[in-house]
């Protein structure tokens, strides 16, 4: 193995380190300023940018290495495992009206079983860290994930959770941008529904627990999801990517913070659609009939 495999201070590794610092800052902000979780979410977004750039420059400068791959996974576990778990932990804590976490309680007392249940719910965001680690470990040894992903990538899962503070603090008046761009009057009942969603739904742990379960399952599920990496800029090889990015840009311009979870869900939907289309195409392929020395295509 060449010395480059052990080189720490390469450009891609330095970019990965910057992403790790961003993810660590997200954790710090989540615990030190739980009322301003959007700051933590911003740092997760910055970490996601660094996560894209380290791979880009590794390929561009031909500085890919085994050490860089391991460092990237360790950084991703913090930025896209621990950091989003810290965010949804604070949201869950607020929804359960828990002031501070403590295990100093007589667990065998029936009168405290509701409190024990609340404690277990409060700790449920820790599953995000565990499943992110499983997802990253699987990615490192799964050679099928060169041109696509098996399961939801950790950055996408983290961005879905990071969008929650933006949804909670979203100002419906900002949807006036839709009116300015497309001359469409925003419906009063749409605005009222958004406010009701923020005040009622996002204040309940019943909203956050399914998200935790969904994200954890999607990270390890055996389902191929398309990659956003461009090998060239041709329409033929990148139709799905171009369509996805175009719709995503349109949603961001029109819906802003409301677009973030929709984009992640659309990414999963488009991947499912690709699987269905490919399955139908394979069914329509000509079959083969056996001959004495092999197979002949019809």
With beta carbons less than 8 A apart as the criterion, state whether 208 and 163 touch. no
pLDDT score of 47: 95
209 located within any domain: yes
Whether residue 26 is contained in a domain is answered as yes
Instruction: Show the tokens assigned to 117.
Output: 């249940």
DSSP-assigned letter for residue 98 = -
pLDDT average per 10 residues of sequence, the chain (298 residues): 65 92 95 90 94 85 83 93 95 82 55 62 92 91 75 91 85 59 55 64 81 94 82 77 89 80 90 84 63 44
**In degrees, to the nearest 5, what angle opens at C-alpha 129 toward C-alphas 125 and 130?**
105
Asked if the structure places residue 228 within a domain, the reply is yes
Beta-bridge mates of residue 290: 295
pLDDT at 142: 76
Number of H helices, E strands in the chain: 12, 4
**What is the per-residue pLDDT for 252?**
83
Distance of alpha carbon 73 from alpha carbon 133, whole angstroms: 8
Instruction: Say how far apart CA 82 and CA 77 lie, in whole Å.
Output: 6
pLDDT in the model for residue 83: 96
Q: For residues 37 and 3, what is the distance between their CA atoms, to the nearest angstrom? A: 42
Report the alpha-carbon distance of residue 92 to residue 209 in Å, rounded: 8
Whether the CB-CB separation of 125 and 95 falls below 8 Å is answered with no
Answer for the pair 152, 268: CB distance below 8 angstroms, yes or no. yes
In a domain, 292, yes or no: no
Check residue 99 and report its DSSP letter: S
Closest CA to 156 of 132, 125, 126, 124: 132
Of 35, 77, 60, the closest CA to residue 168 belongs to 35
| CA dist., res. 209 & res. 96, Å (int) | 12
Nearest to 128 by CA among 102, 161, 95, 104: 161
Asked whether the whole model's pTM tops 0.75, one would answer: yes
Domain residues for the domain of 109 are: 3-286
**Domain count for the chain:** 1
């Amino acid at each position: 193995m060449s010395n480059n495999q052990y080189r720490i201070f390469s450009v891609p590794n330095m970019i990965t380190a910057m992403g790790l610092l961003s993810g660590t800052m997200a954790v710090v902000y989540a615990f030190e300023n739980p009322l301003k979780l959007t700051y933590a979410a911003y740092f997760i977004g910055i970490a996601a940018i660094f996560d894209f750039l380290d791979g880009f420059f590794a390929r561009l400068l031909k500085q890919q290495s085994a050490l860089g791959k391991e460092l990237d996974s360790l950084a991703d576990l913090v930025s896209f495992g621990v950091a989003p778990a810290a965010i949804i932990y604070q949201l869950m804590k607020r929804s359960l009206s828990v002031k501070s976490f403590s295990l100093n309680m007589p667990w065998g007392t029936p009168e405290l079983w509701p409190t024990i249940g609340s404690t277990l719910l409060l700790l449920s965001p820790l599953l995000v860290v565990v499943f992110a680690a499983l997802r990253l470990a699987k990615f490192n040894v799964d050679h099928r994930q060169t041109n696509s992903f098996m399961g939801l990538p950790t950055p996408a899962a983290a961005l879905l959770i990071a969008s929650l503070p933006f949804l909670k603090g979203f100002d419906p008046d900002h949807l006036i941008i839709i009116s300015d761009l497309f001359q469409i009057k925003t419906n009063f009942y749409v605005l009222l529904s958004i406010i009701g969603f923020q005040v009622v739904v996002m204040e309940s742990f019943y909203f956050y627990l399914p998200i935790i379960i969904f994200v954890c399952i999607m990270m390890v599920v055996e389902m191929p999801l398309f990659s956003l990496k461009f090998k060239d800029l041709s329409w033929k090889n990148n139709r799905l990517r171009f369509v996805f990015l175009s719709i995503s840009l349109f949603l961001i311009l029109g819906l802003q913070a409301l677009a973030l979870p929709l984009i992640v869900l659309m990414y999963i939907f488009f991947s499912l659609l690709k699987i269905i289309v490919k399955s139908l195409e394979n069914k329509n392929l000509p079959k083969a009939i056996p001959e004495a020395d092999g197979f002949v295509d019809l």
